[in-house]
Structures are given as C-alpha cells and as structure tokens.
Amino acid sequence: MKLAANGATLVINDVGDSAPAEQTVAEIRSINHEATAIMADVSSAVDVTRMVETAIATHGKIDILVNNAGITRDQLTMKMSDEEWDKVLAIDLKSVFLCTRAVLRPMLKQRSGRIISMSSVVGIIGNAGQANYAAAKAGIIGFTKTIAKEVASRGITVNAVAPGFIDTPMTQVLTPERKQALLANIPLGSLGTPQDIAETVAFLASDEARYITGQVITVDGGISLGKL
C-alpha cells in the first residue's frame, strides 16, 4: 500500500489461497493505482520464471523487487527435522535467489533497478530454537552484499531490511509472558509495526536512496544492540 501510494504499479504474489492477494489488489485499486495478483510458489524456479514473465508481459518492465516471503519452523537444533530445515531454507532463502536471478536480466538491460530483501535481526544476533530461520536470514545478508557488487555498475541497487519483532500474526501468537520478556530487551519498549518496515522499503526503492547499496537496514527498536 505504501509503494502504491508512492505511485508504483504493483504485482502482488502469494501462494495457495488467492483471497489475501486479491484483497490487497482491491485495496490498491481503491486508491486509484494499478495492481495485479499472481499466484506462485517462490521456492519453485518454474513458478518464479512464470511470475516474472507474466509481470513483464502485463506491465512492460520491473523496476523494484521486494523479496518478502518467509516462514518459521521453530525447533531446537538437536530435534530439528530435515523437513523443517529444508522448508525454511527453501522459502526464506532460495526464493530470494530465484526471484533476484529472474529479474536481473531485464534490470541489467534497462540499466536500473531496486532489489530489496527481507532479512531479520535474528540473522544478525541469532535466536535459540531458530537455527533454520537464522541461517536463512543471515544468508540473505551475504547474498545481498554479493549481488550488490555484481550489478552496481549497471545502476541497480541491492539492499536488505532486517526487522526486529513486528506486530504481525507471527508475533501475536506469543504468550503474554513471552511478549513481556521480549519487550524488556527492546530499548524502545515496543514491537514495531508493518508501517515501520513499509517506510524503510519505500525509501530504499526511491530515488533518494540511489547511492545506497549492499546495506542492511536494521529496523528493530534497538534489540540488536544487546543488553546494557
């Protein structure tokens, strides 16, 4: 919604149930901006290729890619199954590689582009019970810096955003006790909001951020600073 308000035409991706994506498209159109929904599994190279080709065929080009797919399968490492490891790495990390690779050729051809990927503060400081998630999100940081070096000469910037604990359905399942313990470790004393992340993404996608690349912007209320 923030990108739409800033004038972007949006292609909304989701997998499985199309209703949330279609609802977002309807909300964007309600403020007189264009959007379409494409259902695709971003951990599948075939689906990603189809999604990107459809987006270009529909809208002519891709200026901005936001890699935002993510899941968790929390478990202590000694109890973590192969499936729990593989699923998180596929959705959270492989998808970033597949989607970035798919948009690079058209962006290189037009000599411009913005690639923004969602990492996490967990990829920076770690978190017990999230070895798979932390590994995937740390991998995004290394990937971001590498791609930034590969494509900078063609006018493409590549950055990552590392949210802390944000007030979303993923954190709303926390028990009151766990939430209070979490808040005690956040210097600003509150969870972040989706709007905090949207503003950061919108900035990185804008002309004002033209000289920023290969960076990780941490939006976490200070939790990555550690305890005093």
Report residue 102 as tokens.
Answer: 């798919």
Catalytic one among 133, 144, 158, 164? 133
Q: What gap in Å lies between CA 157 and CA 203, rounded to an integer? A: 12
Please check whether residue 50 is in contact with residue 40, taking contact to mean a CB–CB distance below 8 angstroms: yes
* Strands 113-118 vs 64-67: parallel, antiparallel or unpaired: parallel
Long-range contacts of 168-175 (CB under 8 A, 24+ apart): 168/194, 170/72
Q: What gap in Å lies between CA 49 and CA 42, rounded to an integer? A: 9
Residue 211 a catalytic site member: no
Q: Please list, in sequence order, all residues whose beta carbon lies within 8 angstroms of the beta carbon of residue 128, skipping any fewer than 6 positions away.
A: 76
Q: What gap in Å lies between CA 126 and CA 13, rounded to an integer? A: 28
Instruction: State phi, psi for 63 to the nearest 5 degrees.
Output: -95, -30
Q: What gap in Å lies between CA 148 and CA 100, rounded to an integer? A: 11
* 161 strand-pairing partners: 118, 217
Angle of helix 131-151 versus helix 82-89 axis, rounded to 10:
30
Q: What gap in Å lies between CA 198 and CA 6, rounded to an integer? A: 11
Active site (catalytic) residues:
133
